[in-house]
Amino acid sequence: MSSQPLSQNQEYFELNLGPQHPATHGVLRVKLLMDGEYIVDAEPVLGYIHRMHELMGENRSWAQYLPNMGRLDYLSALSYNLGYVELVEKMAGIEVPERAEYIRVITTEMNRISSHLLWFGAFVLDLGGFTPLLYAFDDREQILDLLESVTGSRLTYCYYLFGGCYNDVEDDFLSGCLAFIKRMRTRLPMYHNLVTKNVILRQRLEGVGPVSAEMCRKYGATGPVLRGSGIHYDLRKNEPYSIYPELDFDVPVYPEGDSMARFMVRMDEMEQSMRIIEQAIAKIPEGPVMAEKVPKMIKPAAGDYYHAVEAARGTFAIRAVSDGKNQAYRMKLRSPTFSNLSLFQEASRGMLLADGLAFMGSLDLVIPEIDR
């Protein structure tokens, strides 16, 4: 397992971090080889909650597979829904009404904020600061209430359908989103004052867990991890989908590559998401939210299809091979945190245990999505 030879006079010990451990936020197991408090080697061990999502995609119809998307990354389920429905729409050539596109973007971005909020709380919890978690949950609760009012669920959404959305949003929802943004604009500066500027927090994040752009390329890391390493790469800009090209937003990029950079990227992304939502709400047209002619039984033409979206944690891509039947011949999901976790082994070598866990927290892992 270890790529480093054990020297004769050095005594290492193995430490099982997980599958039940407060810092892994799920059933991730990391086999650590420790030299006292230093990590010599860290090997992530997966498979504890493997549910064969890819195989499930191959033995059920396109529509039946839709609810699975909410079970991958349960914290930003709508991005995954979006990726999948856009793929199937691309395969079957379904046109989506414009209002539905706007609703999709608004709800997805709300979901992104809620995901980042939860990460923010859980990350500071990993660092030993308990209080921000409750504040973040307070904010997140507002989003969940709003999304519940349109989607009917609070966590594992299944709101988008092939050709549109399950139902139309009301003005209450849109004004609720604006009210939330107004509230959030006062909360984010508070978080920056209380958390980002905290000396202990800065000490624990700055310079810790450097991830180079080269390392990101090697392991395929995307999302805030990549943008925290100075690479301007966001699928909403680089491979635009839906109505993102019509909206004006920035991609926060920090070149430092340390945990603080990843922290700042996510904090700034919340602001950008709020900008996107505001613009989308201002522009949202009237009209239907479902395409008129969506076949009951979708049978895409045989071929190899690929679609990727920017989820809260990075690039979520699906490659589906169709043989013209009602279900996929081959379904491959490319989930962002699987790649982001892969670099943990290399990047954590020589770190202190406490720093290693802070670094792991900064990667924003969601285990069901790594272990799908």
Partner 1 sequence: MDLGINVFEVFIYLVGFIAFAAANAAYLVWVERKGAAHIQRRTGPKEVGPYGLLQPLADGAKLMSKQFIIPEGVDRPLFLLAPIMTMVPAIMIFVTIPFSETILARDFNIGLLMILAFASVNVLALLMGGWASRNKYAVISAARVVSQNIAYEIPMLIIAITIVLITGSMNLTEIVAGQAGGILHWNLLPTNGNFLGPITFIIFFICSMAETNRAPFDLGEAESELIAGFHTEYSSMGFGLFFMGEYANIVIAAALTTILFLGGWYSPLPETIPYAGASSVAWFLVKMYLLIWMVVLIRWTYPRVTLWSLLNLSWKILIPFSLFNLLASAGLVKFLG
Query: Would you put residue 363 in left (φ > 0), alpha (ψ -120 to 50) or beta?
Result: alpha
For residue 324, the SS3 value is coil
Q: Does 93 bind partner 1 (CB under 8 A)?
A: no
Closest CA to 72 of 361, 331, 344: 331
- Single out the segment in contact with partner 1 by CB under 8 A; choices: 166-174, 211-219, 278-286, 352-360: 352-360
- Single out the segment in contact with partner 1 by CB under 8 A; choices: 56-64, 153-161, 198-206, 304-312: 198-206
Shorter beta-carbon distance to partner 1: residue 202 or 275:
202
* Encoded tokens for 343: 């670099």
* Encoded tokens for 142: 């507002």
Per-residue x/- marks for partner 1, 8-37, CB under 8 A? Answer: -----x-x-----xxx------------xx
- Rounded CA separation 322/353 (Å): 46
Q: Where are the alpha helices (DSSP H) in the chain?
A: 53-58, 77-92, 98-126, 131-151, 171-191, 199-205, 213-219, 224-227, 235-238, 259-283, 336-347, 353-362, 367-370
Per-residue x/- marks for partner 1, 253-292, CB under 8 A? Answer: ----------------------------------------
- Rounded CA separation 281/366 (Å): 30
Per-residue x/- marks for partner 1, 34-53, CB under 8 A? Answer: --xx----------------
Closest CA to 17 of 33, 36, 37: 33
- Rounded CA separation 5/351 (Å): 18
Listed in sequence order, the residues at least 6 apart from 282 whose beta carbon sits closer than 8 Å to its beta carbon are: none
* Encoded tokens for 236: 């909403």
CB-based contact 295:315 (threshold 8 Å): no
Question: For residues 127-146, which are near partner 1 according to CB under 8 A?
Answer: 127-131, 134-135, 138
Closest approach of partner 1 to the CB of residue 201, in Å: 5
For residue 320, the SS3 value is strand
Shorter beta-carbon distance to partner 1: residue 87 or 133:
133
Shorter beta-carbon distance to partner 1: residue 134 or 301:
134
* Encoded tokens for 370: 């790594």
Q: Does 371 bind partner 1 (CB under 8 A)?
A: no
* Encoded tokens for 333: 């999901």
* Encoded tokens for 130: 């308990």
Angle formed at CA 187 by CA 277 and CA 177, multiple of 5 degrees: 30
**Given 146, 333, 357, 370, the residue binding partner 1 (CB under 8 A):** 357
Residues near partner 1 (CB under 8 A), total: 28
CB-based contact 58:328 (threshold 8 Å): yes
Shorter beta-carbon distance to partner 1: residue 110 or 351:
351
Closest approach of partner 1 to the CB of residue 129, in Å: 4
Closest approach of partner 1 to the CB of residue 180, in Å: 17
Closest approach of partner 1 to the CB of residue 352, in Å: 6
Q: Does 294 bind partner 1 (CB under 8 A)?
A: no
Tokens 């209380």 belong to: 194
Closest approach of partner 1 to the CB of residue 127, in Å: 4
- Rounded CA separation 67/244 (Å): 24
Shorter beta-carbon distance to partner 1: residue 32 or 318:
32
Shorter beta-carbon distance to partner 1: residue 321 or 353:
353
* Encoded tokens for 368: 């069901």
Shorter beta-carbon distance to partner 1: residue 128 or 255:
128
**Given 28, 66, 100, 125, the residue binding partner 1 (CB under 8 A):** 125
Q: Does 63 bind partner 1 (CB under 8 A)?
A: no
* Encoded tokens for 218: 């090697």
Angle formed at CA 250 by CA 248 and CA 255, multiple of 5 degrees: 170
Q: Does 352 bind partner 1 (CB under 8 A)?
A: yes
- Single out the segment in contact with partner 1 by CB under 8 A; choices: 88-96, 155-163, 195-203, 229-237: 195-203
Q: Which residues bind partner 1 (CB under 8 A)?
A: 13, 15, 21-23, 36-37, 124-131, 134-135, 138, 198, 200-201, 203-204, 352-355, 357
